[in-house]
Structure 1
Amino acid sequence: MREHLEELLGERVASVHDLGTSHSWTLHRAVLRDGREVFVKALDGRSGAEGVFAAEAAGLRWLGEAGDDVPVPGVLAADERMLVLPWLPPDQPSAGAAERFGRALARLHADSPGAFGAPWDGYIADLPLDNTLDDQGWPRWYAQRRLEPFLKPAAPHLSQADIRLFEQVIDVIDELAGQPEPSARLHGDLWSGNVQWTGGSAMLIDPAAHGGHRETDLAMLALFGCPELGRILAAYDEEYPLADGWRERVPLHQLHPLLVHVALFGASYRTSAVEAARAALALR
């Protein structure tokens, strides 16, 4: 691994420290000969997710196109087996950092890419995402590219009644989605673990980036809880006011990540997914 890292960076590596595993890859902190520290993800030789790092690197660069203040790390190097990013020393979240993050996230979302999807093959964790580009509106795109593809792998952990419930959401999604909005540059997997508090601010890591509905990122932040979430949302809403009814639509936007979790981890997420589907249908 050290030889591969040195070849990729064109620099000598002093040490590599293992940080564990995540999905199909291993995590490392490496120290270069000049003292700089970098974060490394590396696939093992048996993984079939060779496109995952290319997708993450493309997503980080694409998010960064929204402006100099976008809170994403730069990509130092990437190939199909390895991704190298700057090391971000962890910090405690603060009120000021949360407010700055909320405003920065709002500005990121306000920079519309003009279509839903992305011009690269996507991944969430190590599962493929259909990022087919479409400028015809978010509801059908979300149903066809996010809900339908994950209902099938989740189905072994759902009852037939559960499946019909999700199918009903898909059938009437135009009634549930609220007023049309322009596409937003989304992180796409914005749970609290992908918000890295560092240096008095917050950085977005591990994206499943694409053009989508901005309420999706906010719903994902709320799904498993996030420090200072109230301050983040208040600052966001001041910078880029949210549409009426956005809080009631949170379950609709949480359906995709919950189906992903059912597909990845099984029936332990079934109840949450079914409850979100019922809450979404209550919007009619």
Structure 2
Amino acid sequence: MWASIREQLSLVLGYSFTIKDKQTLDGGNISHVYLISDGIEQYVVKTNSRDFLVQYLAEEHSLSSLHHTHTLTVPKVILTGQTKSHAFIVLQYLPTTPLRAEQTSYQLGQQLAQLHQWGEQKQYGYDDDNFIGATPQPNTWTNKWHQFFAEQRIGWQLQLLKERGIELVDIDQFVALIKQRLANHHPKPALLHGDLWQGNVGETETGAVCYDPACYWGDRECDIAMTELFGGFPQSFYAGYQSIWPLHQHYEQRRPIYHLYHVMNHCYLFGGEYLVQAQALIDEIHHNHSLCVDSSTK
């Protein structure tokens, strides 16, 4: 495998790259991650089974989309390919530490707001389907946000869980409820990182770096909602975001719906406590809907 990666990397770089050092990095539970070096240049290499190439190509597409905006800092993709036995992606190495510095967090919040303001798109979706973690994520272009999120996010995850024998709620009824809850919300389509949690962000000497995106055009509140899950972000991050583009006053009403998508995905991938969290969010959404119905009849 490594001989083939070295040969393909040498062709892309335009000189003979020799792997003199190879270290294993902590890269989560999906791929094997390595830091390779020829004594001068260093690169990150992710490897997986050969059929994983589609996931790496999706990652390359998302990273390229973000890089094109000149807002968030993301690693450049050097090479994506296959050997006889493996798929791999080679990335620019950006040494990072966990995001902690207030000023760096504040600037990251500003950069995310600038990403969300970047570009003009009339529909919600993406040119290709991709993956949220290891889970397929459909991105068929759709004109209405409530339809896109209810069907391609909430309904999709509920169906995946049902196929594993986990039925949290009646799918058709709940999808209809989500459509109703979002029907009057018409956000400007924003390019999203899509998987913006604490583990996909790091801090360098020059600022924050983001990894492992799952891009699509959607409601900017989805990125913000995910930053509040799985460890959360420093408060200075949110202050930075608000300084560029303040959130809508009704964001908190939609937040449980946006949280549910990612909690259900974790339930699908890991089970355990996420099943309890997903059910609690569904109950909260039902409760909030009942409050809305009651207030509208008074």
Provide the TM-score with structure 2 as the length reference: 0.85
Residues of 2 paired with 1:24 and 1:77: CA distance?
Answer: 19
C-alpha contact 2:96 2:204 (8 A) present in aligned 1 = yes
Equivalent residues of 1:28, 1:39 under 8 A apart = yes
Query: Secondary structure at 1:79's aligned position in 2?
Result: strand
Please tell me the residue identity of whatever aligns with 1:213.
D
Mapped to 2, the partners of 1:152 and 1:213 lie a distance apart of 22
> Cα distance, 1:21 vs. partner?
5.8
Q: Does 1:83 align with 2:89?
A: yes
Counterpart of 2:78, as a letter, is L
**TM-fit CA distance, 1:152:** 2.1
Q: Does 1:6 align with 2:9?
A: no
Q: Structure 1 residues 24, 138: CA separation in 2 closer, same or farther (over 3 Å shift)?
A: same
Question: Shift of residue 252 of structure 1?
Answer: 0.7
Return 202-211 or 258-267, whichever deviates more: 258-267
Q: Is the 8 A contact 1:121 1:131 kept in 2?
A: yes
- Higher relative contact order (CA closer than 8 Å, sequence separation 6+): 1
Amino acid at match of 1:9: L
Q: What does residue 40 of structure 1 align with?
A: 45
CA deviation vs aligned residue, 1:230-259 (integer Å, no higher than 9, x gap): 111111011012111112321110111111
Quickly say closer, same or farther: Cα 1:174–1:127, change in 2 above 3 A. closer
Q: Is the Cα contact below 8 Å between 1:150 and 1:259 reproduced in 2?
A: yes
Superimposed CA distance per residue, residues 21-72 of structure 1 (whole angstroms, 9 cap, x where no aligned partner): 6444211111134x12111111134xx43300000000010112222x4222
Counterpart position of 1:16: 22
Could you list the runs of 5+ residues in structure 1 that have no partner in the other structure?
A: none
**Correspondence 1:211 to 2:217:** yes
Give the partner amino acid of 1:201.
G
Q: Does 1:186 align with 2:192?
A: yes
Q: 3-state SS of the aligned residue for 1:76? A: strand
For residues 285 and 274 of structure 2, what CA distance do their matches in structure 1 show? 17
User: How far apart in 2 are the matches of 1:231 and 1:169?
Assistant: 35
Q: Which has the larger radius of gyration?
A: 2
What letter matches 2:6 in structure 1?
E
Of 144, 151, 168, the match for 1:144: 151
Gaps of 5+ in 2: 11-16, 293-298
Instruction: State the alpha-carbon separation in 1 of the partners of residues 165 and 273 from structure 2.
Output: 9
AA in 2 matched with 1:223: L
Pick closer, same or farther for the CA change 1:6–1:112 going to 2, 3 Å.
Answer: same
1:70 to 58, 69, 72: 72
User: How far did residue 157 of structure 1 move?
Assistant: 5.5
Q: Tell me how far apart the structure 2 counterparts of residues 179 and 244 of structure 1 sit (CA, whole Å).
A: 12
| 3-state SS in 1 of match to 2:52 | coil
Q: Which residue of 2 aligns with 1:111?
A: 118
Count matched residues.
275
AA aligned to 2:250 is G
The 10-residue stretch of structure 1 (101-110 or 122-131) with the greater mean CA deviation from structure 2: 122-131
Residues in 2 aligned to 1:14 and 1:98: alpha-carbon distance in whole angstroms? 35
Q: Which runs of 4+ in 1 moved over 6 A?
A: none
Deviation at 1:95, TM superposition (A): 0.6
- Which one of 240, 245, 249 corresponds to residue 244 of structure 1? 249
Partner in structure 1 of residue 296 of structure 2: none
Cα displacement string for residues 95-126 of structure 1 (whole angstroms, at most 9, x for unaligned residues): 10011000000000111451211112301222
User: More deviation in 16-25 or 251-260?
Assistant: 16-25
Q: Cα distance, 1:181 vs. partner? A: 0.8
Aligned to 1:265: 270
The alpha carbon displacement at 1:264 in A equals: 1.0
User: What TM-score do you get using the length of structure 1 for normalisation?
Assistant: 0.89
